[in-house]
């Protein structure tokens, strides 16, 4: 079949679309499948307390995704939430919790009566950002936490297609 790993005779490279939609480039020496850069959203690290909020991505962070958002669930009803964002992860103890993001910026939000809040983060359609990684963490005031503050697990997103 045309997508096998056997070399293709001839000197000129040729290209075809594989069965999964990826670009396959073939030449005298073989075939190479060029896959798009996958997007991902992964939690990492440990939450500070059992009552810590959960930080999630609303969907996979694909370039051009105007509806992408960071979602905080299981927060204190009507509570103040801070979301830190940065280009690097971190693991430093702060107030007895693990700070997991080297924050460049922080957003302050207020959860609704169900402990939910979404922070819209429209992703530009800029291929220069393909494969870029960003790190986030939520924090909230919590009277049950040892120091009155608790942190979520970290969230790492990789921009893809």
pLDDT single digits (tens) 10-65: 556 777 766 656 667 776 666 666 656 789 999 999 999 999 999 999 999 999 99
Helix (H, G, I), strand (E, B) or coil at 55: strand
User: 138-160 in b/e burial notation, b at 16+ Cβ within 10 A?
Assistant: bbbebeebeeebbbbbbbbbbbb
pTM of the model: 0.78
Q: State the pLDDT at residue 103.
A: 84
The tens digit of pLDDT for each residue in 107-155 reads 999 999 999 999 999 999 998 999 999 999 999 999 888 889 999 999 9
Q: Which of 2-11, 68-77, 84-93, 121-130 has the lowest mean pLDDT?
A: 2-11
Confidence of residue 8 (pLDDT cuts 50, 70, 90): very low
Kindly tell me if the per-residue pLDDT of 1 is higher than 70: no
User: Does 81 score more than 70 pLDDT?
Assistant: yes
Backbone angles phi, psi at 44, to 5 degrees: -150, 160
Q: Tell me which residue of 83, 54, 68, 90 sits closest to 158, measured CA to CA.
A: 68
Residue 67: predicted pLDDT: 97
| pLDDT(5) > 90 | no
């Amino acid at each position: 079949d045309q997508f096998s790993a056997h070399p293709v005779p001839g000197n000129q490279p040729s290209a075809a679309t594989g069965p999964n939609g990826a670009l396959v480039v073939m030449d005298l020496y073989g075939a190479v499948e060029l896959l798009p850069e996958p997007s991902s959203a992964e939690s990492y690290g440990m939450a500070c307390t059992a009552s810590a909020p959960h930080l999630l991505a609303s969907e996979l962070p694909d370039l051009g995704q105007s509806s992408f958002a960071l979602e905080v669930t299981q927060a204190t009803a009507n509570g103040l939430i801070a979301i830190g964002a940065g280009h690097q992860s971190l693991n430093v103890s702060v107030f007895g919790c693990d700070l997991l993001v080297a924050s460049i910026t922080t957003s302050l939000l207020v959860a609704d009566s169900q402990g939910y809040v979404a922070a819209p983060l429209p992703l530009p359609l800029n291929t220069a950002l393909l494969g870029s990684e960003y790190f986030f963490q939520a924090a909230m005031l919590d009277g049950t936490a040892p120091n009155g503050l608790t942190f979520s697990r970290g969230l790492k997103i990789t921009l893809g297609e």
